[in-house]
Amino acid sequence: MLAIIATIVALGARLNSEFFTPEKDYTALVIIEGVIVTDPSRLAVFKSLEEEERVKGVIIRINSPGGTTAGGEELYEAINRLREQKPVVAVINELGASAAYMSAIATDRIFARRLSIVGSIGVLFQSVDASGLMDTIGIDFDKVASGPLKAEPDLDEAMSDEVRASLQSLVDDSFNWFVDIVADRRGLTRTETMALSDGRIINGRVALNVGLIDEIGGQREAIDWLEGQDVEKDLPVWQVYPRAESFEERFIRLLGEQASSVVGINRALPAKLPLDGLISFWQL
C-alpha cells in the first residue's frame, strides 16, 4: 500500500511541476463558490495576486449562499487589500448572498445577472433546544461551569432570557458592522441600507435599482469594465488556485489517511461538520 501511495504522490508532484504559469501579463480569475469559511490557502492566493506584477486585473466570480461571518470578513478584508493594488471586479452568477455579498462589496465594481440572487444582508445564530426530547427518553445532563453564560445555549434546556440577550448583543454588533460596510462601499445612507438589511433576497434587476450592484452582466462585461481601468481587453484570463501541496505534504496526508482507515478513526468522525458560531448565510 505504501508503494502505491508513493507512486501516486510522485505522479502528482510531476504534474504540479508541469502546471502552466503565464509568463506574460494576464487577468486573474478567482472563483468563490459553496459555503464560505476562513481559509488560509485562499488568503495566500489573494496575497500572491497583490504581489504578482503580471496580474493586471482580477475578476472574482461568485456563486455562494454565504457562510460564517468570520469567513466573510476574512474575504472582505483580503479583497480590500487587493483592490488597493489593482482593479478588482465581482461577477455574481446564480447566487451572491450574505457573506458572499459581503465579499462582493469589497471590489471596485459588481456585476450580476438580472435573475441572480443577491442580498440576504444579516447575521444569524442558531441553536437547538432538545430538552423535550431529553425528557422523553429519560436523559438528564449535569454541568459545572465557571459562569452562568458558559456553554450556553445548552441543548438540554430552553434558552433563558439572559442567554438570549447575550446572544442578541453578539448578533447585533456583527450585524451593525455588516450594515456599515455595505453603506460605505455602496454609497448608501444607513437608513437606505437598513431598509435592505432585513435578510431579504432580491434579484439582480432589483439590486441594480436599489444600489446593491453596479451593472447587469457577466464576465464579458467585467472585462469591458477592466479595459476602462487600463487593463488590456485582450489579456488572457487565467483562473488561479491555492498553492498545491508539496511532495512531502501530500505524502504525509495520504499516509495519515491510510493509517486512519486501518485503525477505524475515519469511521468515528462525522461526514460533515456544522458551521459553528455566527453565520451570514442564505437558507432555503
Residue 267 binned pLDDT confidence (cut-offs 50, 70, 90):
very low
Residue 141 has pLDDT above 90, yes or no: no
Indicate the pairing of strand 201-203 with strand 88-97: unpaired
Residue 263 has pLDDT above 80, yes or no: no
Task: In whole angstroms, give the CA distance from residue 143 to residue 130.
Answer: 16
The string of pLDDT tens digits covering residues 29-73 is: 999 999 999 999 999 999 999 999 999 999 999 999 999 999 999
User: What does pTM read for this prediction?
Assistant: 0.77
260 a catalytic residue: no
In this prediction, residue 12 carries a pLDDT of 45
Residue 187 has pLDDT above 80, yes or no: yes
Q: What count of other Cβ atoms lies within 10 Å of the Cβ of residue 170?
A: 14
The string of pLDDT tens digits covering residues 73-83 is: 999 999 999 99
Q: Which of 31, 25, 68 is nearest to 275 (CA)?
A: 68
Q: Which of 83, 48, 57, 51 is nearest to 234 (CA)?
A: 57
CB burial of 192-229 (b: ≥16 within 10 Å; e: otherwise) equals ebbebbebebbebebbbebebbbebbbbeebbebbeee
As annotated, the residues of the chain forming the CATH 3.40.1750.10 domain(s) are 125-188
98 a catalytic residue: yes
In this prediction, residue 275 carries a pLDDT of 52
Residue 236 has pLDDT above 50, yes or no: yes
Calculate the average pLDDT of the chain. Answer: 81
Residue 265 binned pLDDT confidence (cut-offs 50, 70, 90):
very low
Residue 270 has pLDDT above 60, yes or no: no
In this prediction, residue 143 carries a pLDDT of 66
Choose the catalytic residue: 98, 116, 120, 280.
Answer: 98
Task: In whole angstroms, give the CA distance from residue 117 to residue 115.
Answer: 6
CATH topology of domain 2-122+199-281: 2-enoyl-CoA Hydratase; Chain A, domain 1 (3.90.226)
- 125-188: what CATH class? alpha beta
Whole-Å CA distances, 244 to 18, 54, 82, 96, 248: 12, 20, 21, 27, 11
As annotated, the residues of the chain forming the CATH 3.90.226.10 domain(s) are 2-122+199-281
Residue 241 has pLDDT above 90, yes or no: no
The string of pLDDT tens digits covering residues 206-221 is: 999 999 999 999 999 9
Indicate the pairing of strand 109-112 with strand 88-97: parallel
Task: In whole angstroms, give the CA distance from residue 179 to residue 222.
Answer: 26
In this prediction, residue 182 carries a pLDDT of 97
Choose the catalytic residue: 41, 47, 127, 150.
Answer: 150
As a whole number, mean pLDDT of residues 116-131 equals: 81
